[in-house]
């Protein structure tokens, strides 16, 4: 049975092969995750910092660190070709880091030097300094054998220049994005055939750069006006930033954000966004077994966040 949170996506063949290696190790009384440092998961590991268009597939087994496919809101058709992001829930301010251009490159990074899988490096010079000064890992004989077997079976080629690879990865992502976002992921054109430069020329972002110091209540009239006329890409960029600065930690803007995703045609992403906050806070009084993407829109309790509400300030309610 395939993990439910993969939805309509087919599980990549290399993940299936990885799972088979885990089963073989279990028969020998070992856990492959302990040997290679990463554990496959069948559960939808999700925190408040996990982007709604990320599908988790593995974890570090510590500090909530997990890894997922970036679907770019459905633009990606094959998960094997999707960017891989690492989510560091405890690394406040640097929770998201793009790790690899695809699953093959993620496996290559795992087998080359797994430092990037456990540490967030927002700046390349810090990564270079870390790699220069870190000591060599010490593996016991069985773990080393397991790692070599994993690399051989998975057909992994190591990365010769990790710093150069990460630098190119980030540069390519910027070039393919039409708008930058605070978490470093950006937003790419939703149409596969669209030219990023052409879309970038006509997409306008929210007029202010969001920050934690801003009060979303005061900005709501402008937010509402922006969402009434902005492109889908611009609205998605806004929602990425709203999540990053923790606006969605509060019930009202979270419910509003879920509704916006549904209205834009992203019900799966709306459900994933709510799931992260349900796990952390149990927002909105929605039960574990309910259809969250439907129930949220039926239980909107703060009308001034609704597009159908009059433009009234929250203080007047």
309, 303 in Cβ contact below 8 A?
yes
* Residue 205: CB atoms within 10 Å: 19
Task: Please state the rounded mean pLDDT for residues 110-114.
Answer: 90
Highest mean pLDDT among 3-12, 89-98, 258-267: 258-267
Residue spans of the domains in the chain: they are: 4-175, 179-316
Task: Please state the rounded mean pLDDT for residues 270-290.
Answer: 68
Q: At 152, list the tokens.
A: 């051989």
248, 277 in Cβ contact below 8 A?
yes
List all residues 6 or more positions away from 55 whose beta carbon is below 8 Å from its beta carbon.
5, 6, 7, 9, 44, 68, 69, 71, 79
Task: Please state the rounded mean pLDDT for residues 2-26.
Answer: 90
Task: Please state the rounded mean pLDDT for residues 86-99.
Answer: 92
Partners of 59 in beta bridges = 39, 66
Task: Please state the rounded mean pLDDT for residues 263-290.
Answer: 75
Model confidence at 8: pLDDT above 90: no
Q: What pLDDT was estimated at residue 113?
A: 87
Task: Please state the rounded mean pLDDT for residues 137-151.
Answer: 88
Q: How far is CA 64 from the centre of its chain?
A: 13
Of 285 and 84, the structure prediction assigns the larger pLDDT to 84
Q: Measured between alpha carbons, how far is 264 from 262 in angstroms, rounded to an integer?
A: 5
Q: What pLDDT was estimated at residue 2?
A: 65
Of 43 and 110, the structure prediction assigns the larger pLDDT to 110
Of 135 and 8, the structure prediction assigns the larger pLDDT to 8
Q: What is the pTM of this model?
A: 0.87
pLDDT in tens, 32-74: 999 999 999 988 889 999 999 999 999 999 999 999 999 999 9
């Amino acid at each position: 049975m395939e993990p439910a949170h993969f939805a309509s996506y087919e599980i990549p063949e290399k993940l299936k092969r990885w799972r088979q290696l885990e089963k073989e190790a279990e028969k020998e009384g070992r856990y492959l995750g302990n040997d290679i440092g990463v554990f496959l998961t069948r559960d939808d590991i999700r925190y408040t910092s996990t982007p709604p268009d990320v599908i988790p597939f593995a974890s570090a087994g510590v500090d909530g660190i997990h890894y997922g496919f970036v679907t770019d809101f459905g633009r990606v058709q094959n998960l094997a070709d999707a960017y891989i992001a690492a989510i560091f829930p405890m690394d406040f301010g640097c929770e998201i880091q793009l790790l690899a251009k695809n699953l093959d490159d993620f496996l290559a990074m795992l087998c080359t030097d797994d430092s990037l899988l456990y540490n967030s490096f927002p700046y390349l010079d810090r990564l270079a300094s870390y790699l220069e000064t870190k000591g060599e890992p010490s593996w016991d004989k069985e773990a080393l054998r397991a790692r070599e077997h994993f690399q051989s079976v998975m057909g992994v080629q190591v990365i010769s220049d990790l710093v150069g690879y990460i630098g190119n990865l980030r540069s390519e992502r910027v070039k393919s994005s039409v708008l930058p976002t605070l978490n470093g992921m950006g937003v790419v054109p939703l149409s596969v055939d669209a030219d990023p430069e052409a879309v970038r020329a006509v997409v306008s972002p929210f007029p202010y750069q969001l920050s934690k110091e801003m009060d979303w209540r005061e900005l709501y009239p402008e937010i509402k006006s922006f969402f009434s006329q902005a492109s889908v890409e611009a609205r998605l960029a806004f929602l990425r930033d709203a999540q990053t600065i923790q606006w969605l930690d509060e019930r009202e803007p979270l419910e509003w954000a879920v509704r916006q995703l549904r209205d834009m045609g992203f019900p799966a992403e709306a459900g994933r966004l709510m799931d992260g906050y349900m796990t952390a806070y149990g927002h909105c009084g929605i039960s574990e077994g309910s259809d969250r993407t439907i129930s949220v829109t039926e239980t909107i309790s703060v009308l001034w966040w609704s597009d159908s509400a009059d433009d009234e300030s929250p203080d007047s309610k």
